[in-house]
Structure 1
Amino acid sequence: MPLSPDELAQISALTLAHYQSSAEDFREGTRDHDVSQNIAALLRHIEAEKPWRILDFGCGPGRDLRTFSGLGHEAIGLDGCAEFVAMARADSGCQVWQQSFLELDLPAEHFDGIFANASLFHVPDQELPRVLGQLHAALKPGGVLFSSNPRGENQEGWNGPRYGSYHDLERWRARLTATGFAELEHYYRPPGLPRDQQPWLASVWRRIG
């Protein structure tokens, strides 16, 4: 049964309230996470002339904005959590937009790359085609989308105070290709472990059309 507008609003509000109340703990807990594999996966597929304009979609406290900016690119953050937005602006010096994932307002054909690291899984599956379409439209033709999500068996629901959708590769691939993306690569994380110890599915996609 489809989620109603009121249910979607509640999903967004409660998930963001969790991050708002735990922002400092989240920043400290993720400060040293090594996502260099993911950043490299996005950057190696962008074909435009440098410097690139990159949207960090769900930028959190701004850790990866500093990395992209330090590499000489124009990094712009986006997050729905007001506390994360303030942290990211202060820590990175980058432009950061406060927007809910379910109420995006993005410029058309603006970005060379979009880095959606541990963020798109918060979008309910019924809304995913719309949100992916908005990201597709925000990329320049040929632009690249990176995503990393906790994988699952195509279930969704509340995980404590946060809502999440947990896709397998086949469902995720179907959602992206239906939106107008071509798959460039995928892999599981953390690297070097047996598959049952790799809870994250990372994938890279090029905008076509």
Structure 2
Amino acid sequence: MELDPRDLDKISAVTLQHYEVHAEDFRIGTCDHDVTQNIAALLRHIEVETPLTILDFGCGPGRDLKAFTTLGHRAIGLDGAEPFVAMARDATGCDVWHQDFLHLDLPAEHFDGVFANAALFHVPSQALPRVLRQLHATLKPGGVLFSSNPRGANQEGWNQGRYGVFHDLEAWRRYMADAGFVELEHYYRPAGLPRERQPWLASVWRKPVA
């Protein structure tokens, strides 16, 4: 069913409200999550000299923003939940942009990398092509996007107050290719477990050099 802009905005607003209400619980519950595998996957594919300019898309309370900064990179956060924006700024001292995923205002060809860890699955499938094109446009030529999403059979809808889309690999590949990206690698997480116990699909993509 085709959603009109008001429907999409409501989906985003309700999801953000969930995070705003539970911001502190989310910060405590995720602060020790180990995503070093994902950070390394992004950084090893970026082929320019450091320090890099990285957009942490859906930065939440700032855990990964801090990790990029500690590694010496110029990191900018972006989140739609106002409490997360404040937490991330306080925790890292980084610039953090308060932007709804469905209403992005991003500079052209500005970033060497985009780190979208557990973020893009909140974008309704109808809006995803536009959002991916915007992320493609904000990357420098040759820039790299990392994404990690909970995987599924392309079902879409509400789960505990949040909207999500659970893509399989083939569907995700189509979305990314249509937006102009070239696949570099993909893997499932957590590492070292049987596939049925790996609910996360991670993938890395390049914006080609024209």
TM-score normalised over the length of structure 1: 0.99
The alpha-carbon deviation at position 49 of structure 1 amounts to: 1.4
Q: How is 1:161-176 mapped onto 2 (pairs within 5 angstroms)?
A: 161-176=161-176
* Equivalent position of 1:181 in the other structure: 181
* Equivalent position of 2:3 in the other structure: 3
The alpha-carbon deviation at position 48 of structure 1 amounts to: 1.1
* Equivalent position of 1:95 in the other structure: 95
Q: How is 1:93-172 mapped onto 2 (pairs within 5 angstroms)?
A: 93-172=93-172
Query: Identical aligned pairs, as a percentage?
Result: 72
Give CA deviations for 1:51-85 in whole Å, capped at 9, x if unaligned. Answer: 10000000000001111001110000000000000
The alpha-carbon deviation at position 108 of structure 1 amounts to: 0.2
Moved over 4 A (4+): none
* Equivalent position of 2:204 in the other structure: 204
Q: What CA distance in whole angstroms lies between the structure 1 residues aligned with 2:5 and 2:206?
A: 31
* Equivalent position of 1:30 in the other structure: 30
* Matched AA of 1:79: D
Q: What CA distance in whole angstroms lies between the structure 2 residues aligned with 1:4 and 1:77?
A: 29
The alpha-carbon deviation at position 45 of structure 1 amounts to: 0.2
Q: What CA distance in whole angstroms lies between the structure 1 residues aligned with 2:141 and 2:166?
A: 28
The alpha-carbon deviation at position 3 of structure 1 amounts to: 1.2
* Equivalent position of 2:76 in the other structure: 76
Q: What CA distance in whole angstroms lies between the structure 1 residues aligned with 2:7 and 2:152?
A: 22
* Matched AA of 2:56: D
* Matched AA of 2:123: V
Q: What CA distance in whole angstroms lies between the structure 1 residues aligned with 2:201 and 2:3?
A: 25
* Equivalent position of 1:56 in the other structure: 56
Q: What CA distance in whole angstroms lies between the structure 1 residues aligned with 2:125 and 2:28?
A: 30
The unaligned stretches of length 5 or more in structure 2 are none
* Equivalent position of 1:12 in the other structure: 12
* Matched AA of 1:68: F
The alpha-carbon deviation at position 187 of structure 1 amounts to: 0.1
Q: What CA distance in whole angstroms lies between the structure 2 residues aligned with 1:69 and 1:189?
A: 24
Q: What CA distance in whole angstroms lies between the structure 2 residues aligned with 1:168 and 1:71?
A: 32
Q: What CA distance in whole angstroms lies between the structure 1 residues aligned with 2:144 and 2:5?
A: 30
SS in structure 1 of the partner of residue 127 of structure 2 = helix
Q: What CA distance in whole angstroms lies between the structure 1 residues aligned with 2:160 and 2:25?
A: 16
Q: What CA distance in whole angstroms lies between the structure 2 residues aligned with 1:162 and 1:4?
A: 19
Corresponding pairs, count: 209
RMSD: 0.5
Give CA deviations for 1:1-24 in whole Å, capped at 9, x if unaligned. Answer: 111111111101100000000000
